[in-house]
Structure 1
Amino acid sequence: MTTDVSLFQYLSTRRSIPAPQMTEPGPDRTTIESILTLASRVPDHGKLAPWRFIVYRGEERARLGAALCDLAVAKNPALSPEMQAVERSRLTRAPVVIAVVSTAAPHVKIPVWEQELSAGAVCLNLFMAANAHGFAANWLSEWVAYDDDAKAILGIGQGEKVAGFLYIGSTTFPQTDRPRPNLSDIVTWTGEEDA
């Protein structure tokens, strides 16, 4: 097997771009479909496809943001005007937001945990597919991923979980790296030493 230098370079420099730093243009429908096709090529024990996508774009993002803001205020009437603005703009921080929804359920052979891991793999593939198409991306969850009322507003059914919201767009901000873990802190070696 040979090393693909471009993939090696990409993986060694992959970074998230904060959603508030994203701008237009975002991917069009054809590009989104290509991104989703690539994203769905993940390990999936039993070929269950235990996940689905919801694509938020256009003016619908602002309508949903207003509904989420109303919900946030109903849950916390003392919510500051600044935080209300954050809630209203939640889905408009990037031109396109894609929810990866885990539909994992008990199965005679496939543990739920494996199904949920497959949804996580979809999120990372979606992130990398967006980058491969020349777009910035960020994988987020935030409170709306865990609140049943917010999930209902966003079209996520009872019993479904949010694996992540992928924010996709363009950016003019410089990409900066963050500290990464030292291998000595996260790796346990077993077996023989290299000669």
Structure 2
Amino acid sequence: MTDQELTLETHSLGAATVEALQQAIAHRRSMGIARLKPDAVDRSLIEQLLEAANWAPSHGETEPWRFTIYTGDSRVALGEAFAAAYQQDAGAGFHEATFEAQKARALMSPVWISIGMEPALKSDGSLRMDLEDERIAVGCAVQNLHLVASAQGLAGMWLSKNIFIHPHVAEFVGLKSPGQLLGFFIVGWPNIPWPAGERGPVSEKVRWAE
């Protein structure tokens, strides 16, 4: 038996597991708020997503991902934070209807998961790793979370612009500098048939240096 064959026999999870993993990856979809049912999602399912996220890789094993889960009535306060963030930035362009819409937005998904990055620090308070490394690690954690959500049949999407990364909202979810709010992941049961996916050929995105 060659060293390669021994390694495969010792560490491989088997062809069936590899195939199932590839199917789960190809099954993943991003679905926004309008595609979510209002139905609650069982806490045990959410905990499975978070456990998957926690097994993401991180440079230096810093594990910088931080999550806060908003369901039920806790979404009311989240909506108020969205509205306050809008009001801070609106200035003369403030509109009461938009302010109220920000409040209502939080109730449109049954589950909101804040995506935080809290970097590891040395004893002198300096960063152990570059912030970019830490953000990439959080991205890996969210991908793990999303894969398991899709495998469960749950719809979800990472929201990462404007209000969702606003400093006021970051403070609301408990993140302080040098920590960063990278957005929110929404989760719910889909109200549409599962969308088909499409990707261009991988050969167009790969170069073999031979």
Distance 1:131 1:26, change over 3 A: farther
- Which of the numbers 83, 107, 117 marks the counterpart of 2:98? 83
Deviation string, structure 1 residues 144-174 (Cα, Å, up to 9, x no partner): 3432123212332232112331100111212
Q: How does 1:39-188 map to 2 (within 5 A)?
A: 39-76=53-90, 77-105=92-120, 110-177=129-196, 180-183=199-202, 185-188=204-207
Deviation string, structure 1 residues 19-47 (Cα, Å, up to 9, x no partner): 22212333222322222111111112322
- Farther off after superposition, 33-42 or 7-16: 7-16
Unaligned runs of 5+ in 2: 1-11
**TM-score (norm. length: structure 2):** 0.77
- Which of the numbers 9, 13, 16 marks the counterpart of 2:30? 16
Shift of 1:99: 1.3
Shift of 1:141: 1.1
Q: Percent identity?
A: 25
**TM-score (norm. length: structure 1):** 0.82
- Farther off after superposition, 100-109 or 35-44: 100-109
The structure richer in helix per residue is: 2
Shift of 1:180: 3.8
Deviation string, structure 1 residues 92-148 (Cα, Å, up to 9, x no partner): 221111112111256576443322211110111111122233311111112134321
Distance 1:112 1:74, change over 3 A: closer
Cα distance between partner residues in 1 of 2:199 and 2:68: 31
Cα distance between partner residues in 2 of 1:70 and 1:52: 23
Q: Would you say how many aligned residue pairs link Structure 1 and Structure 2?
A: 191
What do you get for the CA RMSD once the two structures are aligned? 2.6
Cα distance between partner residues in 2 of 1:143 and 1:168: 19
Distance 1:36 1:185, change over 3 A: same
Cα distance between partner residues in 1 of 2:28 and 2:176: 32
